[in-house]
Amino acid sequence: AQKVTQAQTEISVVEKEDVTLDCVYETRDTTYYLFWYKQPPSGELVFLIRRNSFDEQNEISGRYSWNFQKSTSSFNFTITASQVVDSAVYFCALSGRVGNTGKLIFGQGTTLQVKP
Amino acid sequence: EPEVTQTPSHQVTQMGQEVILRCVPISNHLYFYWYRQILGQKVEFLVSFYNNEISEKSEIFDDQFSVERPDGSNFTLKIRSTKLEDSAMYFCASSPLAGTGELFFGEGSRLTVL
């Protein structure tokens, strides 16, 4: 079975602090994709990143960085120098093997509050 | 940039009424999905649709739910007899390929059942 666990329900930081959101996944597939989505208060789902299981290189995009470690089945997301606009719910998600229907399994989400 | 559009953005209905949520996927995409998010909870998969038929559905997607692609552009989710617990945000998504997980989500339709 596939499962995504985001153990942190809520995180509160002060602006300019760095924050890491944890994501642990379970899958029996050898090929899979991992994602992070942001859901601001307005409710839409904003795609942040997709990473396939064969690419363990860490990725940095501006203040965002992602650490994918297959050995621990984790795909953690770090925001450097957080800003108030980063306040949102962040979801980690998993997609199964190529050729499946492409559905995503989401974690429970982590609510990030960045205080000024 | 092409996007997935959903209507209505918010619908309020009485319990027992039928509701149709509409989605216009990105035009060259082949795979279509509906997801549901009950307030404050995680996003849950409902159904995937390809080649004019359901390719996978979750346990949530019971006989009260149906999907249709009536005219080659719209993709609809129908709830035949709404229940209070159907109150949620419903997200439509489309993808050019299955398995890559490259889903493009609409902005969601909020359904409130009274």
Which pLDDT belongs to residue A63? 94
Which pLDDT belongs to residue A54? 87
What tens digit of pLDDT does each residue of B78-111 get? 999 999 999 999 999 998 876 666 788 999 999 9
**CB contacts, 8 Å: A110 with chain B:** none
Mutate to test the interface with A, among B103, B107, B111 (most CBs of A within 10 A): B103
Higher pLDDT pick, B2 / A31 = A31
Q: Which residues pair with B93 in a beta bridge?
A: B33, B105
Which pLDDT belongs to residue B91? 97
Question: Residue A98 pLDDT > 90, yes or no?
Answer: no
Question: Of B82, B106, B113, B96, which Cα lies nearest the Cα of B34?
Answer: B106
What tens digit of pLDDT does each residue of A49-94 get? 988 888 888 888 899 999 999 999 999 999 999 999 999 999 999 9
If interface means Cβ-Cβ distance under 8 Å, which residues of chain B face chain A? Answer: 31, 33, 35, 41-45, 48, 50, 55-56, 89, 91, 95, 97-108, 110
Running DSSP on this structure, what letter comes out for residue A54? T
H or E element that contains A65: strand A64-69
What tens digit of pLDDT does each residue of B50-82 get? 889 999 999 999 999 999 998 878 999 999 999
Per-residue pLDDT band at A8 (split at 50, 70, 90): very high
Cβ neighbours of residue B46 under 8 Å, at least 6 residues apart? B33, B34, B35, B36, B57, B58, B60, B61, B65, B77, B90
Say which of B56, B108, B110 has its CB closest to residue A101.
Answer: B56
| Gap between the Cα atoms of A57 and A51, Å rounded | 9
Q: Which long-range CB contacts under 8 A does A48-57 form with residues at least 24 apart?
A: A48/A77, A48/A90, A49/A77, A50/B100, A50/B101, A50/B102, A51/A75, A53/A29
**Phi/psi at B85 (nearest 5 deg)?**
-75, -5
